[in-house]
Amino acid sequence: MQLGLNGQIALVTGGGQGVGRQICLELAAEGAHVVVNDLFADRANAVVSEINATGGKAYAAPADITKQEEVEAMVASATSYFGAPVTVLVNNAGIIPERREKGGRTPAFVDMPVADWAKIVNLNVYGTMHCCHAVLPGMVQRKTGRIVNIISEAGRIGEANMAVYSGAKAAIAGFAKALAREHGRHAITVNSVALGAVSHEGIKDGPLNVNATVENNELLGKMLNAYPISKGVGRLSRPTDVSGLVAFLASDKALFITGQTIGASGGFTMI
């Protein structure tokens, strides 16, 4: 299918690794000019080099999306680099890096320090709001735009030991529906994509590590049983199982899809 993303300017937050990186590569392959945001400049630069090496066009835009002034400056610099405003926004950055680096089980809500709640809410909720706030005026002016939020099935059904994360992802889905109602008259669509466990190169160990197998990781076997499609293919989802849906939602083919939360989790939930 030709998605017709030529000439679109797509900003992807947290595009330096994992799901975000693959979304950047997919959008670039479909012809979009990609603004690769990440907290870490080296990660954003590496993805830009990958895109440029395959003949695509990309711009590295390192910024901390929890800080509104950095987001506004990032959007302004990307607009000036490409000479056109952002037309597609993918709010992808969401996992707290420290959580993954520490590994192990995350605490129950009652045992979680307030400072940790704030980190999760700031990145997921405020990060998404800052980026929407920065790009919406340009989209409204041009009467076109696509916003896609990467959330988690935890936000739809709740997950023990991930209460604040679940709540933050649910907040994004609700926020997206309200924006979809506010901006339908500007032909701007706003949707969310709910993921289950996604294995990728940025995950250093545990069942989501790309080298985990049922033989070397007991938990992986249990996880595969929770995803209907995983039972059929014998693996968890990968970023390439997500990026095509995001590119589709970013295209004109999806003009009449708005305010929706779409699962890409192999049937983990069916709501």
Interacting residue ranges for ligand NAD, rule: CB under 6 A:
13-14, 16-20, 37-40, 43, 64-66, 92-95, 97, 123, 127, 150, 152, 195, 197-198, 200, 202, 208
Closest distance of CB 18 from ligand NAD, Å: 2
Closest distance of CB 29 from ligand NAD, Å: 18
Alpha-carbon distance of 80 to 61, in angstroms, equals 12
Residue 171's CB: how many other CB atoms inside 10 A? 17
Closest distance of CB 143 from ligand NAD, Å: 28
The token duo for 172 is 């994004």
The b-or-e profile of 175-210 (16+ CB within 10 A means b, else e) is: bbbebbeebeeeebbbbbbbbbbbbbebbeeebbbe
Tell me how far apart the 2 most distant CA atoms of the chain are, in Å: 55
- For residues 258 and 184, the answer to whether their CB atoms sit within 8 Å is yes
Nearer to ligand NAD, 8 or 13 (CB): 13
- For residues 154 and 166, the answer to whether their CB atoms sit within 8 Å is yes
Q: Which residue is nearest to ligand NAD (CB)?
A: 94
Closest distance of CB 185 from ligand NAD, Å: 29
Nearer to ligand NAD, 56 or 155 (CB): 155
- For residues 223 and 6, the answer to whether their CB atoms sit within 8 Å is no
Nearer to ligand NAD, 148 or 197 (CB): 197
Nearer to ligand NAD, 64 or 116 (CB): 64
Closest distance of CB 196 from ligand NAD, Å: 6
Nearer to ligand NAD, 99 or 142 (CB): 99
Q: Which of 246, 269, 238 is nearest to 159 (CA)?
A: 269
Closest distance of CB 59 from ligand NAD, Å: 15
DSSP 34: E
Q: Which of 217, 198, 172, 202 is nearest to 65 (CA)?
A: 172
- For residues 11 and 75, the answer to whether their CB atoms sit within 8 Å is yes
Q: Could you say which of 59, 81, 126, 165 is catalytic?
A: 165
The region that residue 103 occupies, defined by phi over 0 for left and psi between -120 and 50 for alpha, beta otherwise, is left
Helix 41-53 and helix 18-29, axial crossing angle in degrees, nearest 10 = 30
Q: Is 81 a catalytic residue?
A: no
Nearer to ligand NAD, 67 or 177 (CB): 67
Residues with a known catalytic role: 165
